[in-house]
Structure 1
Amino acid sequence: MITVHHLNDSRSQRVLWLLEELGLPYEVKRYQRDAKTRLAPPELKAIHPLGKSPVLDDGDVRVAETGAIIEYLLETHPGSGLRPEAGTEAGRRFTYWLHYAEGSAMTPLLLKLIFGVIPDRVPFLARGVARGISKAMNAHMIDPQIAAHTALWEAELTRSAWFAGDAFSAADIMMSFPIEAGGSRVAYGPDKPRLKAFLQTIHARPAYKRALERGGPYSYA
């Protein structure tokens, strides 16, 4: 039996979604973030040295990192139609977006989150300075990067309905988290109609809804 070590409001929601799309039986072991720090609980360090989620157990096999888990599930359960054929244009796009989602996309979003909480985490007398630094970092470095990335996503969805082509794939599952997180950091306006439509479409998928039921509250949906 597959077991997913699942942290609320995290990347691991995508693993539950993929398992639902594949129609595989699985168990969920839930972990809750600290209400104040938003950090994962120490219990996760017993599962993985970094104390991060997701981690998937499949019998004697343990896999960490969302992209690696998705590749593992697609390799061990072929024929799902969720991975385009290797060597094709769709296959190359699939590989790019699968790795880009955690490689390039999440860095500015994580920085946005960190600099957003810094002013509240420093001593009171230093908060004014911290707010000034955070504001400058957002204005001159972080926000322009997020704008560039979201423009790339919008442009890609102009090429085709999905990130790897005309068919839904696991690349769309991988891209769901940065797009959801991006929408929570910087609301998508009228210049991002395809991103807004993408979110509406994936949130309406039956497998996505079932994954939410299994995973519990998920702020980004």
Structure 2
Amino acid sequence: MTEQLNADPAELAKFSDLAHRWWDADSEFAPLHQINPLRLQWIDSTVGGLAGRRIVDIGCGGGILSDAMARKGASVLGIDLSTKGIRVAQLHALEAATPNVQYREVAAEALAQEQPGEYDVVTCMEMLEHVPKPESIVQAAAALVKPGGWVFFSTLNRNPKSFLLAIVGAEYVLNMLPRGTHEYLKFIKPSELAGWCRGARLDLVGTRGMQYNPFTRRYWLSGDTDVNYLVAARKL
């Protein structure tokens, strides 16, 4: 079954083993908790406010971004293929009484066939570099969003600088992430992502880079897309 899905069994197992730590802000997922306000603010300001929007969050994991968008007044569906991750997200939503958020264990491609053009916003953050066919996820995101709706991606650039900072630095020197979290060859150049977006009839509107200072432990958005970067696109 898994071999037929756009998913790497080893990647699913890796994140499933850590699923119980999704909502521990001092765990391996600390960087996601730290960058979440930045990406949430950028998405919210780009679309002119998330309140009242219908959103699907592809690769939601334990629901960190899904939960935050729901608290902004959106109606959010978080989807993932990690059973344990989805259960953690559902449990957190119950415990935190998060309004208007639901979670499903379903592939983006399957949901796109089931609910085409039903969402105002689609997000897919820190997920494309973990699947065998990222271009298929881009196509699914484009199918899920309404004409004129917004699609957001974030991923890692592929170049020597990103290898040094995102893998050697983050995983081996600073120990911010478990070793083996990322595979360099799965990183995605902005030109590659732009090409997939054009092929899916998504018009690129904006790109931002995310930077980190290991001494102050502060993240910020900038115009430097050499390592982590975010993309905003609209459905034509």
The structure whose Rg is larger is 1
Q: Larger relative contact order (C-alpha < 8 A, sep ≥ 6)?
A: 1
Asked whether the two chains share a fold, i.e. TM above 0.5, the reply is: no
TM-score, normalisation: structure 2: 0.27
TM-score, normalisation: structure 1: 0.28
Compare the two structures and name the one with the higher strand fraction: 2
